[in-house]
Each structure stands twice: as C-alpha cells, then as structure tokens.
Amino acid sequence: MGFFPSDPIREEYTEIFQSFLRDIDFQIPSHEYHETLQSEMTLHFAEESFSEKFIRRLRPILEASPGIAMTTFYHASLEVQRVVGIYTVYAILIDDQAKELEHDLKQFSLNLLSGKPQSNKLMHLSFPRDAPDFPYYIRIKTGVAEAYVFMVFPEHLFPEKKYMSSYLPMILYIQAYFNFVNDIMSSYKEAFEQEDCNFVDNSAKTLGVTRIQALRKLCADTLELAGRLHCLSSTNPGLGETIESFIHGYIMYHLCQRRYRLEELGFPVSIEAQRRVDFSSLQ
C-alpha cells in the first residue's frame, strides 16, 4: 500500500526531475514509431506454441514492453526492436514470477512481531559504510541491463570487426547510465509505494544520508556518465548520434510509461511526453 506524499515532497521530486532533465539538455524526440511492433511480438509468442491463456496473461506486459524498444532503440532496425521487446517481456515475466522467497516473505511479519530471526539470509543483508560501491554491485547483479547495452550496437549498423574497439570501452558506462536513469525516474514511484530495497535507498543507508540526498547525488553521477559517453563517442559520428539517441530515448521511455507515476507531479515535460506517445494504444 502506498502513501500519499505531501505537497512539499512532490515539489522536491518535481524540482529534482526538472533539474536533471534541464542539465542533461533533454529534448523530446520527434520520432515516428512502428505501430506494428506489439502485434509482431504477440505473433512471436503464438509461434512459440504458448497457449492462448498464457498469451492473455502476457497482455499487460506485451502492451508495456514495446516502449523501451521504440524509444531507447529507435536508431535500430524493426527486427532489433522486436528482439528488444521480446527480451523485455521475458525479463518482466521472470521478475514477476519469482517465487524463491514466497514462503519467507509470508513469514516475515510473523517473525518480526514475535521477535524471531528471519529465515532467509538475504533479509539480513546490510550495506556497510566502508563499502560504498556495494549497493551498485547488488544493482548490477539484480538487473538486466547488460544485454540491452550490447543491443545499442546492432551488427547491421556497427559490425564488430569495424566498431567493436570503439564501443567496447563505453559498455561499462552505458550500463551504469541505463541503471542510474531507471533508478532516478522510478524513485518517486518507489517512494510512493514505500519500496526501500532499491539502489537509491541502499546508497542512502551506505552513505549515511537521506533518500533525497542520495537521489541528488545519483543525478549528478548520471550527468557525469552522460558527459563521458559523449566524449568517448565524439570521434565517430555514427557512434555519437547513436549515443545521443540512446541517452534521450531512454529518458523518453520513462516519461511515457504511466507505471512511474510521473504525470502525478505535473511537470510539463512529462505531460507533453505522454501526450505525444501512448504506447498502450499501439497494436
């Protein structure tokens, strides 16, 4: 169950998001999107002999998954976007269907109230201040960013023999940017839903600061990453254009997705992004 943030809290998040978008020089891309992508993804699961019942269960995921393919990977071919979308469906499905902690989570409240220790060691995980990078280690081990990162450079645009030596040094920074932007843009939603097992909150615990202070630091770190990516890609016009498209397209993806609740903050860029693109209407 979520809480209802006070006006000052909403205003603080709005100010942070608007400052981040201004400092990264975000511009809403003026793209035309492939309206058939969702249908092609649905066809993939039908061709894999999944049942009609299973595909119906996938419907909400299939409606959301094309968004990241069409915004973040706009520069790639329709076939690459299709692969990105299908990968996203599987990633979300696995995340939603994880059952390993089901019993332990059911016992969590009872153990807490009775003073008993939690049975799963993950529930005792701490973030020592002498290990400031430990939250990011947890972040990369629980995320799915690396596959997305390599799909930024599809073979039909960037043949390995010619481009790999140029884009390989960027992989680590693209992965960090991918994770950090998601952590920034989902921070209001997670605060609203009182989720505290995320990178921003883990960083706050490690650094001994508030959630808002950790979020501001994350924005600054992300701006630095974007600058580094611009520098690394500046010697190759093709790479430079792709990185620019990726940087802004990934932000656009989050602005368009209602699951991040950004429209509740009412800042103009979010409203305009959702007005321009409603991915749930693309069939």
Task: State whether 169 and 221 are in the same domain.
Answer: yes
What is the pLDDT at residue 114? 67
Domain that holds residue 61: 36-98
What was the pLDDT predicted at 86? 92
- What's the CA gap between 25 and 247, in Å, rounded? 10
Q: What is the rounded distance in angstroms from the CA atom of residue 157 to the CA atom of residue 241?
A: 12
Is this model's pTM higher than 0.95 or not? no
The CATH number of residue 153's host domain is 1.10.600.10
Structure confidence at residue 48 (pLDDT): 82
Count Cβ atoms below 10 Å from residue 130 Cβ, excluding itself: 6
**Tell me, what's the pLDDT at 263?**
87
- Single out the residue in 98, 118, 150 at which a domain terminates: 98
Q: What is the pLDDT of residue 59?
A: 85
- What is the rounded CA–CA span in Å between residue 14 and residue 114? 40
Same domain, 177 and 258: yes
Number of domains into which the chain is organized: 2
What was the pLDDT predicted at 142?
A: 67
Consecutive 10-residue runs of the chain (283 residues): their mean pLDDT?
A: 66 95 92 79 84 81 87 92 92 66 59 62 58 71 83 95 94 95 94 85 91 97 97 92 95 90 88 75 43
The C-alpha angle with vertex 19 and arms to 218 and 256, in degrees rounded to 5, equals: 85
